[in-house]
Amino acid sequence: MANTVRETADTVYATFRRLKPVEREAVIEHLLQDREFREDLLDVATIEQRRHETGRPLREYLATRKTK
């Protein structure tokens, strides 16, 4: 099943890459109109941006939350 999902994703992506720039833009605009998709995209971008940040213990974080 995982291969099928990956193959489908690869096919869709390859098709997207073959579109003319104006068509790609239209697809992206359409996707961004979907609130849930937009939120997911922002979540993924935030995770990627913070991937190399050092973590901290949960208790330490919660202690700072109580003082605010």
> What confidence tens digit (pLDDT) does each residue in 10-58 have?
999 999 999 999 999 999 999 999 999 999 999 999 999 999 999 999 9
Specify the pLDDT at position 2. Answer: 78
Per-residue buried b or exposed e for 20-32, using 16+ beta carbons within 10 Å of the residue's own CB: eeeeeeeeeeeee
Specify the pLDDT at position 47. Answer: 95
Helix (H, G, I), strand (E, B) or coil at 32: helix
Q: Which residues contact 37 (CB under 8 A, 6 or more apart)?
A: 31
Specify the pLDDT at position 32. Answer: 94
Specify the pLDDT at position 11. Answer: 97
Return the amino acid letter for 31: L
Specify the pLDDT at position 65. Answer: 86
Q: How far apart are CA 33 and CA 47, in angstroms?
A: 22
Specify the pLDDT at position 46. Answer: 96
Return the amino acid letter for 26: A
